[in-house]
Structure 1
Amino acid sequence: MPETICWEDLVPGSVRELGTTSVDKEEIKEFARRYDPQPFHVDEEAGRQSIFGALCASGWQTAALAMRLTVDNMLRHSTSQGSPGLESLRWLKPVYPNDQLSLRHVILESRPMRKRPEVGLVRSRWEMSNQDGQKVLEMEGWGMFGRRTPATPEELAAYEAQRAGA
């Protein structure tokens, strides 16, 4: 079993490859019928007639695929406490049936939580690319992770002083 990933392990600048996945046309249609029934997601002919030129996955499905890879290859093995939300989510290219998608996770920033010293905040960027190396999704947001040792009053004071000087 992999070692548990804690806040202290999520160092700004570090990168994790979070695996690969793909969806076939039936999975694209099934997701779209349920959650995003726009014609180019549910009908192949409508997809061909659209600006996408073919049936393509909903951006929400692409985000869900990224979330699944994140849970399977990182969060399940971590002290994750959830997330206060995303700052940005961009769908950069369409995802077509059988595209091979890979996910990269980059730590941008890390800080202690003032009100919960046993938890730290981590700001990350997820980059999902297709088999041609083209980014199809990019999102940034925060996660909350348990710490091995709670933040000390001195650590919190140093962070506040650094923030005040910025």
Structure 2
Amino acid sequence: MNYLKSLVLVLLLLGAMAMRAPAPNPDAVLGVWKNGEGTGMVQIFKRGDKYFGRIVWLKVPNNPDGTPRTDANNPEEKLRKQPLRGLENMRDFTYSGENKWEAGKIYDPKNGSDYSCEMTLVDDNTLEVRGFIGVSLFGRTDVWKRQVKKAPATK
């Protein structure tokens, strides 16, 4: 009878361990992600304890004349000639737990605007990126798909 009680106890403990949530992983967001439109890919990387993103691929990388596309809509005239590929368009995200990164900024080169932003990792390959003005309620969420897992860290 003691054997049966021990077996039940072991099975209960194993079941409880299996149901336990995985340990939080602040670096789970690292990698290369394709935006919802499929027009670009952003590499999310870590610098210090903050997370950043840079454009690493564009579906249309060049202008009709063959020159690389630039940040033509940037409100700062001196930055309008910088190439879009390599542009750091996400910055200063902090991991807040529960697969969420907050307090960041995202720059949209289509209109030259900066937005507050938060990211939520839905699963290993799905990232919800929400840009907003003021409060998160007034914004737009884009669903990104992972292309490459964990890109190298950048200093």
Do the structures match in fold with TM over 0.5?
no
Shorter-chain TM-score bucket reads under 0.3
TM-score of the two chains, using structure 2 as the length reference: 0.25
| Larger Rg belongs to | 2
User: What TM-score, normalized to structure 1?
Assistant: 0.24
Q: Which has the higher strand share?
A: 2
